[in-house]
Chain A
Amino acid sequence: MKRILLACSAGMSTSLLVSKMEESAKERGIDAEIWAVAQDKAPEDMKRADVLLIGPQMRFMKKKFSVTANEVGIPLDVIDPVSYGRIDGKAVLDKALELIGE
């Protein structure tokens, strides 16, 4: 079970991506829980996630989230703007899996 957390300002635009990523995971038979939250909820939810991906428009939050990510021991990164614009669920899922390291 892969638990992938996405964060942006209100969790709106990342939730567009969530459904596309879920589709892609289903196609490939990957068991994944993917969800999106607003930035202020991210540190709390990171405790039960395997990886955090940040919407590129909130990339200035990376430094702050890194602190919590280190504490709970999960990787994090900013989603590539091109994949974000295309709502490319497959590419972002690949990125998440790569970060988890499997």
Chain B
Amino acid sequence: MNKFMEVLENVLMPIADKLNNNRYLTALRNGFMVALPLIIFGSIFVVIANLPFLDKVLSESALESYKNALDPASAATLSIMGLFVIIGIGYKMVEQRGGESIYGGVVAIGALLVLTPQVLDGTGGVIPTSAIGAQGMFLGIFSAFIAAELYQYFVNKKLTIKMPAGVPDAVSRSFSALIPIAFTLTIFLVIRIIFSYTPFDTVQNFIYTIIQEPLTVLGSGLPATIVAVLLIQIFWFFGLHGQIIINSVLDPIWFTLNDQNLAAYQAGEELPNIVTKQFIDTFIVGIGGSGMTLAVLIAIFVVAKSRQNRELGKLGIGSGIFNVNEPVIFGLPIIMNPMVVIPWLLAPVVVAIVTYFAMATGFAPRPAGVIVPWTTPALISGFLATGNNIMGSVMQLINMAIVFVIWVPFIKVIDKQYYESEKNAA
């Protein structure tokens, strides 16, 4: 068993290292971090605009104008989150290279806008919000990567305008970004022109059809979700932060699915997706952290007799409520512990399947596209993520019960060992 663990660890460590330290994935993750405050701001106002009791106290027209008054908050942030993510990616890409990062941000968004048809239903002079929302996010991410790389490449090539001596430094610096940005955006313009001669017509259309659509369809399915959940658990089993590793690959897909639901939710239509960012964050992870360890802690409180486990329960519960679970993962311990490998891998998969079908059949509401901060305690997060629906909390409660039932026999066995050895030591 030890040999086997060693081999697996040797396989997983380099993967974690590669994924976490990959330049593009790092910029992507940090780009999302840049956008997060705006995403949360928009989410808060979606929640306020859809408070559950309002339709009972307000007249229909009052409710309408109340919603209309609050709508810009999410329309200007959450619905066009791609804009902020892309600026963040461009900024972080150039920052990594030690360049002037703000130009990375503007060249990234500039490149996307060059590729964007600025016309909607025959009206010119508009930037469709879909281009900078979830639908445009994939193209935005790629164009941000390429634009920032090109910009930095031209900067490194010293393709800047040399000013004669005597010109103030500030003046020559104002020109230093000119040529790299001009070259970069010219390349994007050429790309746009080339695509206008293809059957796809626009780059948007090309990326959407060839990459985004297939990937989101794949990512919204149960099999891919189970694989993702299992991978998160396996990484954590080896004491590696599975969440941060897997998320950096899947966040673009999960956020896109999330935004599709948000658009439908705000239009009062049926929510298209079950698996979204919040499906993972709220119903699989957000019950005490990866592996839903809040339910494991409850199992410890209910059945554990050993001093070690009792201590662990006290130590872990405070942070566990806010979904920080390192004390449990390293304290029980879960890492490298063959005694817990079965419930650790099994429980989240069962929960994912149950939640998926509960939402598919309409028993539980689907995530409404609101982004809930990951430190939000369980039950509250379920309520918020489903658009203020108490059944979201009920679903989380059911998931907790599932995890609890799966874990109890294993906790009993572990606890018996600890208890015996404590008795013998005393």
Interface residues of A (CB under 8 A from B): 8-9, 12-13, 16, 40, 55-61, 63-64, 81-82, 84-87
A73 to B319, CA, bound (A): 34
Closest Cβ neighbor of A78 among chain B residues: B239
Interface residues in B, total, Cβ within 8 A? 30
Q: Establish whether residues B30 and A13, one from each chain, have CB atoms under 8 Å apart when the complex forms.
A: no
Known A12-B324, A56-B239, A64-B21; contact A85-B333, beta-carbon cutoff 8 A: yes
Q: Establish whether residues B330 and A9, one from each chain, have CB atoms under 8 Å apart when the complex forms.
A: no
Shortest C-beta distance, B18 to chain A (Å), equals 9
Shortest C-beta distance, B324 to chain A (Å), equals 5
Q: Establish whether residues A57 and B315, one from each chain, have CB atoms under 8 Å apart when the complex forms.
A: no
Closest Cβ neighbor of B17 among chain A residues: A60
Interchain Cβ contacts under 8 Å between A and B, 14 examples: A12-B319, A13-B324, A13-B327, A40-B29, A57-B326, A58-B244, A59-B240, A60-B20, A61-B20, A63-B17, A81-B330, A81-B335, A85-B333, A87-B331
Please name all residues of chain B whose beta carbon is closer than 8 Å to the beta carbon of A59 when the two chains form the complex. 13, 239-240
Please name all residues of chain A whose beta carbon is closer than 8 Å to the beta carbon of B330 when the two chains form the complex. 56-57, 81-82, 84-86
* Cβ proximity bits B17-34 to A, threshold 8 Å, 1 near / 0 not: 100110000100110010
A64 to B325, CA, bound (A): 25
Residue B129 lies at the interface, judged by CB distance under 8 Å to chain A:
no
Q: Establish whether residues A58 and B241, one from each chain, have CB atoms under 8 Å apart when the complex forms.
A: yes
Tally inter-chain residue pairs, CB-CB below 8 A. 73
Shortest C-beta distance, A74 to chain B (Å), equals 20
Please name all residues of chain A whose beta carbon is closer than 8 Å to the beta carbon of B26 when the two chains form the complex. 40
Q: Establish whether residues A13 and B326, one from each chain, have CB atoms under 8 Å apart when the complex forms.
A: yes
Please name all residues of chain A whose beta carbon is closer than 8 Å to the beta carbon of B319 when the two chains form the complex. 12-13, 16
Closest Cβ neighbor of A55 among chain B residues: B326
Residue B16 lies at the interface, judged by CB distance under 8 Å to chain A:
yes
Q: Establish whether residues A16 and B326, one from each chain, have CB atoms under 8 Å apart when the complex forms.
A: yes
Q: Establish whether residues B21 and A61, one from each chain, have CB atoms under 8 Å apart when the complex forms.
A: yes
Given contacts A8-B241, A85-B332, 5 further A-B contacts (CB under 8 A): A16-B326, A84-B330, A85-B328, A85-B333, A86-B315
Q: Establish whether residues B335 and A60, one from each chain, have CB atoms under 8 Å apart when the complex forms.
A: no
Closest Cβ neighbor of A64 among chain B residues: B21
Q: Establish whether residues A12 and B375, one from each chain, have CB atoms under 8 Å apart when the complex forms.
A: yes
Closest Cβ neighbor of A62 among chain B residues: B17
Shortest C-beta distance, B117 to chain A (Å), equals 35
